[in-house]
């Protein structure tokens, strides 16, 4: 195979993988890291970026993390989102579980809504067919909740209608909603609006003592057991928040790595096996080439941007370089898996190789988090693996299937 044929094959595979990654993740690789779903998707979507917009139907779940996430079209599965700003403007066929700074729900939700946030707004257009569980600094309900409504926060502004039971706990509560079942409410300040109605029984506690609930319910009981105790910090809520964030991160990370490894092993499995052999036989040289790549390419990109004529090439090179950074841990995991496969003469199947590569990725990800040691291992192993790949690419006749 001559050099031109090799380059043609590399070029075709590169652009095919770029296309496959775009289809697999539904992402738009731009400089600002925006992600937009513009076409209907038949399966689950796993999204990670800065600004994420879902503008087409998704026949499955959407799991996303980013600076801001906006859902503008129907999602027929679950929503699992962690972001600074979250807006849901459409129909959701199952549950919503979100962790964010500012959360706004404007659509119909067939399942439950579970939210941890700084500010939560359930607008008058929103319909939650299941239950609502919310922990936030500010919570506003203007829509309809068919199930139970549980809210804990700093300030609650409860309007609209609640079909089930309601349990409210906050520093300041303004109640102006219709509740079709029982109400349990405790707050340092409670304000009852003219539209506040509870068809069931009411148990309440207020820092100001007993209140007149006669216009709200025919059965209201002042209950000292509901008294709020000042606490400097609620470690249970913090543990839940941290756990939710960590689980979201690992789900997205593992599924993303799995998709990348599947594609790489399917199209370039033999090549990665040869790169593993190169890594074993020429580790020092591979490390040197890898360091030259990771240090030299950014310098080359800057030089290309300085020259006006080199900007298009610089943009392409920058995109490919960012891709290598994003997929470093997956590439390392697959190469190391082939390294052990070759060294110990294992005859793993395609899916066994993918499984061991994914396990290697998880192990390396944990190691990379270790202070100092993780940083060192990431640089050395990453440079050596990419250096081995570069060395293999420079060979005149690499053996590819």
DSSP 350-367: HHHHHHHHHHHHHHHHHH
In a domain, 283, yes or no: yes
Rounded Cα gap, residues 349 and 355, in angstroms: 10
- At residue 88, the pLDDT reads 97
Rounded Cα gap, residues 372 and 381, in angstroms: 14
Rounded Cα gap, residues 76 and 57, in angstroms: 8
In a domain, 279, yes or no: yes
User: Taking the CB of residue 274, how many other CB atoms lie within 10 A of it?
Assistant: 20
Backbone Cα Rg of the chain: 27
CB 136 within 8 A of CB 121: no
- Would you give the DSSP letter of residue 26? T
Exposure string over 4-16, b if 16+ CB within 10 A, otherwise e = eebeeeeeebeee
Phi, psi of 155 (to 5 degrees): -135, 130
**66 pairs with which residues across the strands?**
49, 83
Contacts of 386 (CB under 8 A, 6+ apart): 289, 290, 293, 294, 324, 328, 331
CB 269 within 8 A of CB 350: yes
Rounded Cα gap, residues 350 and 333, in angstroms: 15
pLDDT digits (tens, 9 = 90+) for 297-352: 888 888 887 776 777 787 888 878 887 887 888 999 999 999 999 988 988 998 89
E strands within 199-291? 202-206, 220-222
Rounded to whole angstroms, the maximal C-alpha distance in the chain is: 90
- At residue 313, the pLDDT reads 82
- Would you give the DSSP letter of residue 18? H
- At residue 306, the pLDDT reads 76
In a domain, 390, yes or no: yes
In a domain, 54, yes or no: no
- At residue 163, the pLDDT reads 95
CB 10 within 8 A of CB 16: no
**92 pairs with which residues across the strands?**
75, 109
User: Taking the CB of residue 399, how many other CB atoms lie within 10 A of it?
Assistant: 11
Contacts of 341 (CB under 8 A, 6+ apart): 273, 276, 348, 353, 356
- At residue 241, the pLDDT reads 60
CB 88 within 8 A of CB 68: no
- At residue 14, the pLDDT reads 42
In a domain, 346, yes or no: yes
- At residue 220, the pLDDT reads 84
Distance of CA 343 to the CA centre of its chain: 36
In a domain, 227, yes or no: no
For 24, counting Cβ atoms within 10 Å of its Cβ (0-12 exposed, 13-18 middle, 19+ buried), the class is: middle
In a domain, 318, yes or no: yes
Q: Which domain, by its residues, includes 381?
A: 254-394
In a domain, 366, yes or no: yes
User: Taking the CB of residue 237, how many other CB atoms lie within 10 A of it?
Assistant: 12
Average pLDDT, the chain: 83
Predicted TM-score (pTM) of this structure: 0.56
For the chain, list residues with pLDDT below 50: 1-32, 233, 396-401
Number of domains observed in the structure of the chain: 1
Question: 283-306 and 235-281 are packed helices; what angle lies between their axes, rounded to 10 degrees?
Answer: 110
């Amino acid at each position: 195979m001559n050099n031109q044929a090799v380059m043609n094959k590399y070029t075709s595979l590169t652009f095919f993988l770029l296309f496959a990654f775009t289809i697999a993740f539904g992402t738009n690789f731009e400089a600002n890291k925006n992600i937009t779903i513009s076409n209907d998707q038949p399966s689950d979507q796993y999204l990670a970026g800065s600004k994420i917009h879902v503008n087409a139907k998704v026949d499955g779940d959407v799991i996303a993390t980013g600076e801001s996430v906006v859902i503008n079209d129907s999602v027929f599965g679950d929503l699992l989102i962690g972001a600074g700003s979250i807006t849901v403007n459409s129909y959701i066929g199952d549950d919503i579980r979100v962790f964010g700074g500012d959360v706004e729900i404007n659509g119909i939700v067939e399942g439950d809504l579970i939210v941890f946030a700084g500010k939560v707004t359930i607008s008058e257009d929103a319909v939650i067919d299941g239950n609502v569980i919310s922990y936030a600094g500010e919570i506003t309900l203007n829509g309809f909740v068919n199930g139970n409504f549980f809210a804990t926060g700093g300030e609650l502004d409860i309007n609209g209608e609640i079909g089930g039971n309601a349990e409210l706990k906050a520093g300041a509560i303004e109640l102006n909603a219709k509740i079709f079942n029982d109400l349990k409410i405790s707050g340092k300040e409670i304000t009852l609006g003219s539209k506040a109605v509870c068809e069931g029984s009411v148990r309440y506690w207020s820092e100001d003592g007993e209140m007149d609930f006669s216009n709200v319910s025919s059965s209201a009981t002042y209950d000292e057991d509901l008294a709020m105790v000042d606490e400097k910090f609620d470690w249970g809520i913090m543990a839940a928040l941290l756990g939710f964030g960590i689980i979201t991160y690992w789900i997205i990370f593992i599924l993303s790595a799995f998709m990348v490894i599947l594609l790489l092993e399917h199209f370039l499995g033999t090549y990665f096996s040869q790169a593993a052999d190169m890594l074993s036989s020429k580790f020092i040289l591979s490390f040197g080439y890898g360091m030259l790549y990771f240090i030299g390419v950014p310098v080359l990109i800057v030089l290309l941007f300085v020259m006006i004529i080199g900007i298009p090439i610089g943009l392409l090179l920058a995109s490919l370089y960012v891709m290598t950074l994003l997929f470093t841990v997956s590439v390392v995991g697959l190469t190391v898996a082939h390294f052990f496969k070759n060294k110990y003469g294992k005859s793993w199947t395609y899916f066994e190789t993918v499984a061991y590569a994914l396990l290697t990725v998880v192990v390396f990800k944990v190691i990379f988090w270790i202070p100092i040691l993780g940083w060192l291992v990431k640089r050395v192993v990453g440079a050596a693996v990419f250096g081995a790949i570069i060395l293999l690419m420079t060979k005149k006749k690499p053996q590819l299937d």
